[in-house]
Amino acid sequence: MTYDAITYEFVDVKHIGRITVVTLNRPSVLNALHKPAHFELHEVFNEFAADPDQWVAIVTGAGERAFCAGNDLKWQAAGGERGWNLSGFGGLTLRFHCDKPIIAAVNGVAMGGGFEMALACDLIIAAENAIFALPEPRVGLAALAGGLQRLPRQIGLKRAMGMILTGRHVSAREGLELGFVNEVVPPGEALNAAERWARQICQNSPMSVRASKQAVMEGLNVTLAEAMVAQRDYPAVREMAASADYIEGPRAFAEKRPPRWQGQ
């Protein structure tokens, strides 16, 4: 298994085989993000999306206190310029065209933009000490980096409004009950559990995984009947059907051996 690490100023990146692990590294401010960190994350996820050897990404926060406390309000109050790149908060919230799976390993606080980053991921694995909230109304703001749109779509309108209008804190266990958390694990185990999920995903054809994600996400924008017809022509679905993996999967099944996925 290949292993390499890349250190940016505010983000750490390592590759574990086919898995890219992205760690927000501003623990002194609970991994809150300012403009320079956003631009680093934009580049990190651009590189992940473009790298054919990387199949799944995990994003987490340095330390056990926080995944990400959202926008760095102290930076902003001190005159720091606010803003992020075209890919949105943390390089994720406007990244609508990445068909590779991204997992949030939430270890502690996921507030505001931090929660919005997690909601933009395909899976959320949370430690028992994880806390989720969209507290923007408490400071005269609104969760406009995707929280107000994704949360109702993921857990239903009334449940989402109960969180949004109050800004209340939600535990990992309640997040599991509400439906936006996939698994709750002991403190300190979120990243290990996320890696376990990532390894399971990597056992499947990456072409099939990307086709499946694209079909699901695009299908949410149309009716069921429209989605059933349109999915045949989605780019990732067409690429899957034309790939070597499309042949390898049935062949490996017939020969009773593990498939050797090429990702093409």
Quote the pLDDT of residue 74.
80
228 with 136, same domain: the answer is no
CA pair distance 176, 172, nearest whole angstrom: 6
pLDDT band, very low/low/confident/very high, at 1 (cuts 50, 70, 90): low
Mean per-residue pLDDT, 213-227 = 95
Which residues are catalytic, by number?
116, 136
Q: Is the pLDDT at 38 greater than 80, yes or no?
A: yes
- The total domain count for the chain is 2
Per-residue CA distances from 4 to 16, 24, 220, 224 (Å): 7, 17, 36, 43
Q: What is the pLDDT of residue 2?
A: 54
Partnered with residue 56 across adjacent β-strands are 19
Asked if 238 and 158 sit in the same domain, the reply is no
Q: Helices 113-120 & 147-155, crossing angle to 10 degrees?
A: 50
Confidence of residue 95 (pLDDT cuts 50, 70, 90): very high
pLDDT, residue 78, reads: 74
Same domain, 59 and 180: yes
Cα–Cα distances (Å) from 109 to 151, 159, 167, in that order, read: 17, 20, 14
Instruction: Give 138-155 pLDDT, tens digit per residue.
Output: 989 999 999 999 999 999
- Domain with 233, as residue range(s), is 206-254
Q: Tell me the C-alpha distance between 58 and 147, whole Å.
A: 20
Residues 60, 23: contact at Cβ < 8 Å?
A: yes
Residue 70 pLDDT level (bands cut at 50, 70, 90): very high
Residues 217 and 191 in one domain: no
What's the pLDDT at 3? 59
**59 pLDDT tier (thresholds 50, 70, 90):** very high
Give the per-residue pLDDT at 93: 97
Are 97 and 25 found together in one domain?
yes
Domain boundary pick from 202, 224, 239: 202
Predicted model pTM = 0.95
Give Cα separations from 100 to 15, 34, 41, 213 (angstroms).
Answer: 15, 26, 16, 8
Surface-to-core class of residue 251, CB atoms within 10 Å of its CB (0-12 exposed, 13-18 middle, 19+ buried) = exposed
Do 53 and 17 lie in one domain? The reply is: yes
